[in-house]
Amino acid sequence: MSRYKLIIEYEGTRYSGWQAQKEARTVQGEIITAIEKALNTNEFELYASGRTDGGVHAIRQVAHLDAPTKLEPIRLRIQINDALPADIHILAIEKADSKFHARHDAVARSYLYQISRRRSAFGKRFVWWIKDELNVQKMQDAAKLFVGLKNFQSFAPDEMESKSPKVMIENIQIKEHGSLILIRIVGSHFLWKMVRQMVGVMAEVGRGKMTSKDIQQFLQSKSDIPARFTAPPSGLFLERVYYKDDKRLDVLEPVLKIE
Comparing CA positions, the residue from 99, 112, 101, 108 lying closest to residue 184 is 112
Question: Catalytic residue among 53, 66, 87, 105, which?
Answer: 53
Tell me the three-class secondary structure of 197-219, residue by residue. HHHHHHHHHHHCCCCHHHHHHHH
- Cα separation of 126 and 232, whole Å? 10
Comparing CA positions, the residue from 20, 61, 18, 25 lying closest to residue 233 is 18
158 assigned to active site: no
- Cα separation of 221 and 230, whole Å? 18
- Cα separation of 250 and 259, whole Å? 22
Q: What residue type is assigned to position 14 of the chain?
A: R
Just list the catalytic residues: 53
